[in-house]
Amino acid sequence: MYVYDEANNLAKAIQESKEYKEYKEAKEKIEAMPDMKAKIDEFEKIRYEVQVISFQGDKQDEEKMKKLQEMYEILMKEPKIKEYFDIEVRFNIMLADVNKIISESVKDLL
């Protein structure tokens, strides 16, 4: 059970981290602004579609890629949305780093 105890400790540490708290707060602020949330949701939908196409190995949809880039540029001009994206990136980097540390510890088995 030791591994599971440590996993639970890690989960708690993540929830207590600065990155988690800032991201949660930023998400709550965006949720309170329906117009901004709708813009971000639309952007996320298109980003997801582009990622799915990429993962499937299909040829990139140039039109969707262009629309995604245009949306991103527009959204980044809005300070509150830019701040949200910046905080989201920091949180995702932390999670990726944690995943990398865990993966590195078992790489000899994979």
Rounded to two decimals, the pTM is 0.83
Classify the C-alpha dihedral 80-49-19-32 as positive or negative.
positive
Looking at residue 95, its pLDDT comes to 97
Instruction: Report d(CA 22, CA 18) in Å as an integer.
Output: 6
87, 22 in Cβ contact below 8 A?
A: yes
43-47: average pLDDT: 93
Residues 6+ positions from 91 with CB-CB distance below 8 Å? 19, 20, 22, 23
Q: Is the pLDDT of residue 22 over 70?
A: yes
